[in-house]
Structure 1
């Protein structure tokens, strides 16, 4: 789903909504009750935020569900937006959403660190943190990002999963440092 207006972007920019959509995408359709249990939240809160996600087109009720079980599903496998608008409302909404995502990514990394010691050696050795400082133009950075996305897509688009595989979230941050060159 491509978000193109600031109101929809601000509606999406909520930590619980981001987690709910992520859960629906990774685990498939589920009720607000099951989502609340998975996210350690309460049912009325999850139900409210699922309805808000539906209002803005991010989630929907599963067709054909019975009246007792009313599961939700994500309407798209991904959500994207452009970061290049000069419209002040869009820039503010983009910054808000990016800030919420950064908080969520940080929370996930901290959750991993809390259980890292219990991970098997092979997974501790394979996972981790790192950075690289590169000197690139804006066009080169775009090209680098596209190549990283294409590399990750090779593994994300697998029709079958390898034995012993598990979900791994790759988090990409491309943050310019220093002033804009003259």
Structure 2
């Protein structure tokens, strides 16, 4: 799903909404009750924010196992937006969303560090942090980003089809930042 208006970007840029849509994408359809339990939040709050996600087309209702269950699902496996707008409202909205995402990425990294000691040695060795300094043009940076996305894209089908996931695989979040120094 491509976001191209400030209102949708701002609606998406809510910490709980980002967690909810991430949960629906990684775990599949679920009720507000199940989402609240998974996120450590309350049902009315999750229900409200799921309705807001639906209002902007990020989530939708799906049939439940029985007539009383009312699960939600994500309408798209991913969300993207352009960061190159000359429109001041769009820039402000993308900056707001990117800031909320950066806070979430930082929280996830700290959560991992807090639990890292409990991970098996093979996972501690495989996961981690790193950075690189390179001198590139804007066009080269765009090409580099596209190459990294293509590498990660080789594993995208495993999100939609659990049967394609090898034994021992885990859900991993790869966070990409390319920022000028």
**Equivalent in the alignment of 2:51:** 51
Provide the C-alpha distance between the structure 1 equivalents of 2:99 and 2:109, rounded to a whole number of angstroms. 15
**Equivalent in the alignment of 1:161:** 165
Tell me which stretches of 4 or more aligned residues in structure 1 moved more than 6 Å: none
Provide the C-alpha distance between the structure 2 equivalents of 1:40 and 1:110, rounded to a whole number of angstroms. 18
Provide the C-alpha distance between the structure 1 equivalents of 2:86 and 2:150, rounded to a whole number of angstroms. 28
Provide the C-alpha distance between the structure 2 equivalents of 1:79 and 1:6, rounded to a whole number of angstroms. 14
Deviation at residue 26 of structure 1 after TM alignment:
0.4
Deviations 1:66-112 (A, max 9, x none): 44111000000000011110000000000000001001111111111
Deviations 1:24-63 (A, max 9, x none): 0000000000000000001011000000000000000004
Three-state SS of the structure 1 residue aligned to 2:68 is coil
**Equivalent in the alignment of 1:9:** 9
Provide the C-alpha distance between the structure 2 equivalents of 1:136 and 1:91, rounded to a whole number of angstroms. 24
Provide the C-alpha distance between the structure 2 equivalents of 1:64 and 1:73, rounded to a whole number of angstroms. 11
Asked if residue 89 in structure 1 is aligned to residue 93 in structure 2, the reply is no
RMSD between aligned alpha carbons? 1.1
Asked if residue 34 in structure 1 is aligned to residue 38 in structure 2, the reply is no
TM-score (norm 1): 0.94
Provide the C-alpha distance between the structure 2 equivalents of 1:40 and 1:26, rounded to a whole number of angstroms. 17
Provide the C-alpha distance between the structure 2 equivalents of 1:154 and 1:170, rounded to a whole number of angstroms. 13
Of 150, 171, 174, which residue of structure 1 is paired with 2:178?
174
Count, aligned residues: 177
**Equivalent in the alignment of 1:122:** 122
Three-state SS of the structure 1 residue aligned to 2:36 is helix
Provide the C-alpha distance between the structure 2 equivalents of 1:161 and 1:66, rounded to a whole number of angstroms. 29
Deviations 1:6-37 (A, max 9, x none): 00110000000000000000000000000000
Moved more, 132-141 or 66-75: 66-75
Moved more, 101-110 or 57-66: 57-66
